[in-house]
Amino acid sequence: MILGGASRKGTTMADDKRTATLTIDGQQYELPIHSPTAGPDVIDIRGLYGRADVFTYDPSYTSTAACDSTITFIDGDKGELLHRGYPIDQLASKSHYLEVCYLLLYGELPTAAQLDDFEHRVTHHTMLHEQMQYFFRGFRRDAHPMAIMVGVVGAMAAFYHDSTDIHDSWQREVASIRLIAKMPTIAAWAYKYSVGQPFVYPRNDLTYAENFLHMCFAVPAEEYKVNPILARAMDRIFTLHADHEQNASTSTVRLASSSGANPFACIAAGIACLWGPAHGGANQACLEMLREIGTPDRIPEFLARAKDKDDPFRLMGFGHRVYKNFDPRAKVMKESADEVLDLLGVEDKPVLKVAKELEAAALADDYFVDRKLFPNVDFYSGIILEAMGFPTSMFTPLFAVSRTVGWVSQWKEQLADPQLRIGRPRQLYLGETSRDYVDIENR
């Protein structure tokens, strides 16, 4: 069953009549303005270079809409995150990860029959080709699991060649399901390999989150019972990280896809980008920072370092390119942290105590308040994941497992866009103008 993407709302671009006037050296250029269903209007500059022989300049694309999309919307000022219009706090409390995957992929919440079919399809694609185990065994035991995920996901193109043709809608659908279904197995096996334990195969009688916990923590020597509260917390963490507009890794996937690269290569590129500490690597970096702070009395020292322009240290888990209010995911994550630690009977761990006092101190500090730097999704996630038994090296792989559905949904949406062309940013060139080669004896 193949379902198309959601219907586009907002103005159809052809109907837009408003324009912006740009004057360059006395010459005026009218640029169309397009209005979204939510968020800022956009000025359409697609024809500007051809008409005015000028580029626009926006390093890091902080003011540039690279595409139109119907999947996710963020209001950074309000701290609002919508997936196909549904607020993330409602999805986190009322839905579950695979239902959110369906919503992101197909645009609407599923009926019971649609959800059963989707869950059946994902569940029956969780196994990896048996030969792929050799990829894991080729890595050093101390390899970072993100290095393994980048390599193994890219190698999927060699094993699932029957779902690499991006022009075939059925192959796109199969590749989407395979990536969502197999990512937990790849992440779990990367963890098992790092701790020298045997790989645990997926089980079809478990839910997505239960299956992942079972593949990570079960051992052949004894039965492993999944704790339902930990499974719920795991599912909620997956839901909170599922998609987030055109963030760095999603933009990487879109740019890779614009060249016609196969889906496995595109998602491997997204995983590589997510690894960075300014992006998905922040949850690992945040817990390591909390450990380095160690006790609340050292918080002022680290706040001073975070404010010192000569010190590269940044408060991990704080700030966001878009949110200039609380990251709504951080609020849900904070509630989960308390719930999981209560369940595990973990008294107020030093790291949680430092986190809560650091958050309070930063939110009372003019530097952070003036710059609208609030806790983001990564501030509390590491505390929960560590309490659940994951090493910090597994935090970003978990983010990659969850974000796979976002990358895949955005990848599918872009391939369905009739405007799709290969991405090719330009530049403001400040280098040498043309000059003749100088023989070495004359230099």
Site residues (vs ligand SDX, CB under 6 A): 244, 247, 278-279, 282, 306, 314-322, 371, 373, 376-378
Measured from the CB of residue 137, what is the shortest distance to ligand SDX in angstroms?
32
- The residue (of 71 and 218) whose beta carbon lies closer to ligand SDX is 71
Sign (positive or negative) of CA dihedral 207, 210, 213, 217 = negative
Measured from the CB of residue 116, what is the shortest distance to ligand SDX in angstroms?
29
Instruction: Assign 311 to helix, strand or coil.
Output: coil
Q: What is the β-pairing status of strands 72-75 and 42-43? A: unpaired
- The residue (of 235 and 245) whose beta carbon lies closer to ligand SDX is 245
Name the active-site residue from 378, 417, 436, 439: 378
Question: Does 320 participate in catalysis according to the annotation?
Answer: yes
Measured from the CB of residue 246, what is the shortest distance to ligand SDX in angstroms?
8
- The residue (of 314 and 349) whose beta carbon lies closer to ligand SDX is 314
What's the token pair of residue 391?
A: 């090493």
Measured from the CB of residue 47, what is the shortest distance to ligand SDX in angstroms?
29
- The residue (of 79 and 317) whose beta carbon lies closer to ligand SDX is 317
What's the token pair of residue 194?
A: 């790092």
DSSP secondary structure letters along 188-206 = HHHHHHHTTPPP----TTS
Spell out a b/e string for 230-269, using b for 16 or more CB atoms within 10 Å of the CB, else e: bbbbbbbbbbbbbbbbbbbbbbbbbbbbbeebbbbbbbbb
Q: What are phi and psi of 372, to 5 degrees?
A: 55, 50
- The residue (of 308 and 342) whose beta carbon lies closer to ligand SDX is 308
Measured from the CB of residue 68, what is the shortest distance to ligand SDX in angstroms?
18
- Cα angle 231, 234, 240 (rounded to 5 degrees) comes to 140
Sort 146 into a burial class: Cβ within 10 Å, 0-12 / 13-18 / 19+: buried
Number of neighbouring beta carbons within 10 Å of residue 171: 18
**CA distance linking residue 9 with residue 68, whole number of Å:** 11
Measured from the CB of residue 244, what is the shortest distance to ligand SDX in angstroms?
3
Name the active-site residue from 96, 235, 320, 327: 320
**CA distance linking residue 370 with residue 306, whole number of Å:** 14
Spell out a b/e string for 354-377, using b for 16 or more CB atoms within 10 Å of the CB, else e: bbbebbeebeebeebeeeebbbbb
Q: What are phi and psi of 35, to 5 degrees?
A: -105, 135
What's the token pair of residue 382?
A: 């590491």
Measured from the CB of residue 203, what is the shortest distance to ligand SDX in angstroms?
30
- The residue (of 156 and 282) whose beta carbon lies closer to ligand SDX is 282
Q: For tokens 């019972």, what's the residue?
A: 225
Shortest Cβ contact with ligand SDX: which residue? Answer: 319
How far is C-alpha 235 from the chain's CA centre?
Answer: 16
Question: Does 124 participate in catalysis according to the annotation?
Answer: no
**Residues 317, 283: contact at Cβ < 8 Å?**
yes
- The residue (of 83 and 244) whose beta carbon lies closer to ligand SDX is 244
How far is C-alpha 58 from the chain's CA centre?
Answer: 22
Please give the positions annotated as active site.
320, 378
